[in-house]
Amino acid sequence: MRLISTLAAAPGFAAASSILFRGGTIIAFDNATESLQVIRGGSVLVTDDRITTVSETAISVSNDTEVVDITGKILAPGQINTHFHGWQTAFKTLGSNTSLVEYFGRYGEYAAAGLLNAEDVYLSQLAGVLESVNGGVTTILDHAHHTWDNETSEAGLQASVDSGARVYWAYTFHNITTIEPNFLVQDQLANFRSLASNASFKGSPAEISIAYDAFTNGNLGEIRAIMDLAEEFNIPVITTHHVEGPWPLENSPETLLSLNLLNRSIPFVLSHSSFITPRGAELLRSHNHYISITPESEFHYGHTHPTSHLIQDQATIGVDTHFTFSADMLTQTRLWLQTARRTLYSEVLQRWEIPVNNPMSVNQAFLMSTRNGGLSLRRNDLGIIAEGAKADLVLWNAKDSPSLLGWNDPVAAIVLHASVGDIEAVLVDGKWLKRDGKLVMEGYYGEFKERFLQSARRIQNRLVVTPAVVPAVGEEWINGLVIGEAAEVDAKRGEGTGYGRGFLGVNGTQG
Ligand SMILES: *[C@@H]1O[C@H](CO)[C@@H](O)[C@H](O)[C@H]1NC(C)=O
Ligand SMILES: *[C@@H]1O[C@H](CO)[C@@H](O)[C@H](O)[C@H]1NC(C)=O
Ligand SMILES: *[C@@H]1O[C@H](CO)[C@@H](O)[C@H](O)[C@H]1NC(C)=O
Ligand SMILES: *[C@@H]1O[C@H](CO)[C@@H](O)[C@H](O)[C@H]1NC(C)=O
Ligand SMILES: *[C@@H]1O[C@H](CO)[C@@H](O)[C@H](O)[C@H]1NC(C)=O
Ligand SMILES: *[C@@H]1O[C@H](CO)[C@@H](O)[C@H](O)[C@H]1NC(C)=O
Ligand SMILES: *[C@@H]1O[C@H](CO)[C@@H](O)[C@H](O)[C@H]1NC(C)=O
Ligand SMILES: *[C@@H]1O[C@H](CO)[C@@H](O)[C@H](O)[C@H]1NC(C)=O
């Protein structure tokens, strides 16, 4: 099924076995104090896939080590996105004003079955992961719900492997009955087994994981079969959508506890966890499982985050459906930081008092998008720059960027001032995936891009002529709640609101 030769075999991927970064500012991590440690004018030595030396001085090395002068620049750990659906890249810009209700019927795992073939999934997944890498993401927990048949499943895994990124590709078990032939959980158990035992998917940073959304009132036999498979194949993580309150994807910590799943060796990452209860939060703490806050998604679709700021010690940051918004973690991290600040400031203002302090720091935001992501996967060696950690690194060009002129604190420079355009290089497992501001595919990305664009155009052409099926206001939704309407804003002086018709047409013409 592979459509392009493995990226790892492409010329740019040939890794020097040792790379020395010398002369810049390093955002290192001190294991002893569990905190960030800024080193100026230091060195980081990478040997194969690991960081072997972090030094406060310029060190010298043997002449077969590639030396990279990073004077004036910032070397930081790669960011970790703990919630993603890479296959959806082909829908880009189609959902700019979509709602969750419309999403389920148009872009979701059931509605989109049959819309993408295996080649489309491959291209879309690879495009999404590469977009992330370009934006400084080195690890992704991908809730891969494009598992519609054996071929589409394999295609998404293959793309994740070929990307060179550290993708925890979480095979989704779900009953696909919207297409013929149906593809049911029982079929998927066999498909999963075959993919997880296939040696050709090993040896890259990508790993097979599991996603499952039917824990609540679930089929106990099915849950047991999936958990047995997870244990048999030593799956690194299980992820599930968890949105309580008025939303229908419960999968709460309380439910996982009742199924005796919280005390097994496999970590859970619960995406969103909007409306988590105090008891749920306590269960995550006592059993060490994490949530993935996806700030932009929770704004865009309206899950909101009424209590997420209260569980940031067990929280990571994620992206979610990047076809509707940014795939980079910088944007998400910044949004989350300012959201948490606004929430906590509001509490003071509501008491008619004036806040004296700032409730959340850039350090905390940085840790959530790096170190906490690693911890959520029970990987002490991800999301940090420390001796022994994986060489998953991002080099920020803080020397030449007009946005960063005058920076002093490198963490503040990244979290609040930088943009994705300032990312000069990205390494995963000590291999360059981006260098000199470009993805390391050289002429190759151009070819890939053309194939992706043709595939995306085909898919979009079908979607833009398919009318959205949205339930009417007052109708009952899938979970028995009533469909309501949000007040639309008026952004235009005089007549009309400026909402617009949208700019969607066949072959990219104006719709
Ligand atoms: C590089 O190292 C090799 C072997 O250690 C040595 O023979 C060679 O002279 C060195 N070259 C330079 C330019 O230092
Ligand atoms: C799949 O279908 C079976 C049989 O109807 C059901 O018991 C099970 O809960 C379903 N699983 C999911 C993930 O929806
Ligand atoms: C899908 O793969 C599984 C596992 O290899 C196999 O048992 C099954 O027959 C395949 N299904 C189809 C339709 O080829
Ligand atoms: C293993 O995966 C490769 C694709 O990478 C595929 O060509 C091969 O058929 C698979 N083997 C099995 C036994 O499914
Ligand atoms: C998890 O907790 C349940 C209920 O207390 C217990 O029955 C089970 O043996 C525990 N499992 C492990 C792996 O500790
Ligand atoms: C820091 O943590 C990493 C990851 O666990 C570990 O490999 C390394 O040995 C630790 N380094 C020190 C200096 O303790
Ligand atoms: C998005 O906007 C377009 C143009 O106004 C409209 O046709 C469509 O129904 C809107 N979608 C939603 C979910 O509101
Ligand atoms: C869209 O582009 C394709 C490929 O160029 C072409 O075959 C098709 O006729 C175009 N469709 C429309 C409606 O313009």
- If one counts every other C-beta atom within 10 angstroms of the C-beta of residue 264, the result is 14
Q: Are residues 62 and 112 in the same domain?
A: no
SS3 92: coil
Q: Are residues 419 and 276 in the same domain?
A: no
Which pLDDT does position 311 carry in this prediction?
98
Do the bridges between strand 423-428 and strand 431-435 make them parallel or antiparallel, or are there none, so unpaired?
antiparallel
Whether the predicted pLDDT of 5 surpasses 60? no
Confirm whether 471 is domain-assigned: no
For residue 1, name the pLDDT band (cuts at 50, 70, 90): very low
Q: Are residues 338 and 235 in the same domain?
A: yes
Confirm or reject: Cβ of 187 under 6 Å from ligand 2: no
The answer for 47, left when phi > 0, alpha when psi is -120 to 50, beta otherwise, is: beta
For residue 439, name the pLDDT band (cuts at 50, 70, 90): very high
Q: Give the mean pLDDT of 278-292.
A: 98
Q: Give the mean pLDDT of 207-220.
A: 97
> Which atom of ligand 7 is nearest the CA belonging to 97?
1
Q: How many domains does the chain have?
A: 2
Which pLDDT does position 295 carry in this prediction?
98
Q: Whole-number mean pLDDT of the chain?
A: 94
pTM of the model: 0.94
> Which atom of ligand 2 is nearest the CA belonging to 173?
13
DSSP state at residue 301:
S
By CB atoms closer than 10 A (0-12, 13-18, 19+), residue 363 is middle
- What pLDDT digit, counting tens, does each position of 162-213 carry? 999 999 999 999 999 999 999 999 999 999 999 999 999 999 999 999 999 9
- What pLDDT digit, counting tens, does each position of 455-498 carry? 999 999 999 999 888 999 999 998 899 999 999 999 999 999 99
Nearest one of 42, 310, 167 to 156, comparing CA atoms: 167
Q: Give the mean pLDDT of 304-310.
A: 95
Nearest CA residue ID for atom 4, ligand 7: 501
Domain CATH code at residue 28: 2.30.40.10
Q: Are residues 181 and 54 in the same domain?
A: no
- What pLDDT digit, counting tens, does each position of 38-94 carry? 999 999 999 999 999 999 998 888 889 999 999 999 999 999 999 999 999 999 999
User: Of the residues 358, 376, 394, which one is the last residue of a structural domain?
Assistant: 376
Which pLDDT does position 248 carry in this prediction?
84
Nearest CA residue ID for atom 10, ligand 3: 150
Which pLDDT does position 11 carry in this prediction?
41
Nearest CA residue ID for atom 10, ligand 8: 507
Confirm or reject: Cβ of 99 under 6 Å from ligand 7: yes
Confirm or reject: Cβ of 506 under 6 Å from ligand 8: yes
| Domain enclosing residue 22, as ranges | 7-77+383-439
Confirm or reject: Cβ of 386 under 6 Å from ligand 6: yes
> Which atom of ligand 4 is nearest the CA belonging to 161?
5
CA 308 to CA 356: how far, in whole Å? 23
Which pLDDT does position 14 carry in this prediction?
47
Q: Give the length of the chain.
A: 511
Amino acid (one-letter) located at 466: T
The answer for 175, left when phi > 0, alpha when psi is -120 to 50, beta otherwise, is: beta
Q: Give the mean pLDDT of 495-511.
A: 81
Q: Are residues 86 and 231 in the same domain?
A: yes
* Ligand found nearest the CA of 102: 7
- What pLDDT digit, counting tens, does each position of 136-145 carry? 999 999 999 9
SS3 403: coil
User: Of the residues 439, 455, 482, which one is the last residue of a structural domain?
Assistant: 439
Domain CATH code at residue 298: 3.20.20.140
Question: What b/e string do you get for 446-482 counting C-beta neighbours within 10 Å, with b at 16 or more?
Answer: eebeebbeebbebbbeebbeeeeeeeeeeeebeeeee
